[in-house]
Structure 1
Amino acid sequence: MLLIVVKEQDLEITSVEEESPDGSEYNHLQVIVRQLQQQRDDTVIQQPNLEALLEVTSYCCTNVQDKTWYLRKKLNKFISQVEPAPQEKLEHLREHDDASCGRQMELRIKDLESQLSKKNSQEDSIKTELEKYKQFYLEE
């Protein structure tokens, strides 16, 4: 039986019992230990890069959160400014429509007054003619 002792810096294989006659198990474990040591070394080499990447990612995340907050605030401000606008526009349109209706009514009144004046003139003309015919009739 073999015992693998893992220390902070190195991996060691310690033989507790007699190794197998051909040493194949021991050789196999040495290969595994070398692979693990290589992985550890690779991880130690990559650690500063990963820490830097984590720092950049954390900064970007914070930056995105800040921008999201800012954009939401800006959007809410824009929405609050846009919502009253239709009400103001409706009031303006109503005022314009009222003024337009007023002008149309004034024009209609003038038109009706003009028609009434024509009718009165026609009536006066007809009365004059009627009087004229009455006079002719009475003279006969």
Structure 2
Amino acid sequence: MNPVFSILIGGILPFGAVFVELFFILTSIWLQQFYYIFGFLFIAFLILIVTCAQITIVPCYFQLCSEDYLWWWMLYLTSGSSTVYLFLYAAFYFFTKLEIIKPVSGLLYFGYMLIASYAFFVLTGTIGFYACFWFTRLIYSSVKID
């Protein structure tokens, strides 16, 4: 499997899992509205965890089948690439929903969204890494060397 294809496509599904909740979160942060649906946010977070785990285990299996043992960072980037889509959605939200005219306010918005995107990158990348780490330990624990 092409690593660039895996990294670019691997981020679409985790981003799709939190896409709707992201709109409500951005609206509550930047448009001073209240966010009440924390139960749905928790469910979306669980779906994000499962999606990140599944989207990285498949390329991990293909890499291990091709005897590529350097899977660590590529799979961290695979699930972490959803950050690109998150930041692009934040830019889309800035230009369509917000009425910010001053450059300092725009710089502040994109600075905060860059920090939030980095935190999301670390979260999703770590979830994907630990899922693949658990997967490789599970499949290699049953191998018997005699």
Structure-1-length-normalised TM-score: 0.29
Bigger Rg over Cα: 1
Normalized per residue, the structure richer in strand is: 1
Return the structure number with greater relative CO, CA threshold 8 A, min gap 6.
2
